[in-house]
Amino acid sequence: MLFDALDRQAAVQTPDPARPSTVMGRGLVFDWSSGRYLMDNGGPVECTGSEAVKAWIEQVVRTRVGKYPVHPTDYGCSALELIGQKIPRGYALSEIRQELLSSAAYCQAIEELSELVYDGERINCTVRLADGNYVSEVITLG
């Protein structure tokens, strides 16, 4: 009897309608130059909405693929490893685009990668969010 009630309760549970799956949640602001999270009054500074998407994009670009076991195996980007290498710019752009597209599947707010520019030192990435807005982020590498 007890287990029958638990099975019925598990079958009835539905996702929280207050937060659609296409909304970006909260994130923590990370200072990449110092290598630390920004703190305010003893707690980490949070970001939401488009700022959280920008922080997420920068985290993906600066995280090497397969570096941390906590991330999926296809999460991250090899952009930092491409700096200074003598490879065709088109190849580097293609690799970065493919890795960002693979990682974007893990961000529920990103609908598509609409524009990507790589000049060897900076990545300018524009994404279309599920709500129809566009977010652009410029990441200086190195």
Q: Is residue 45 part of a domain?
A: yes
Structural domain of 56: 26-140
Mean pLDDT of 55-77: 88
In the chain, the amino acid numbered 121 is E
Quick one: pLDDT at residue 16? Answer: 43
The enclosing domain of 101 has a CATH number of: 3.10.450.40
122 part of a folded domain: yes
In a domain, 13, yes or no: no
Give the percent of the chain with pLDDT over 70: 82
CB-CB neighbours of 109 under 10 Å: 22
Could you give the number of structural domains in the chain? 1
Residue 4 lies in a domain: no
Does 71 map to a domain? yes
Return the residue matching tokens 């488009």.
Answer: 50
Domain membership of residue 99 (yes or no) is yes
pTM for the structure as a whole: 0.75
Does the residue 2 lie in any domain?
A: no
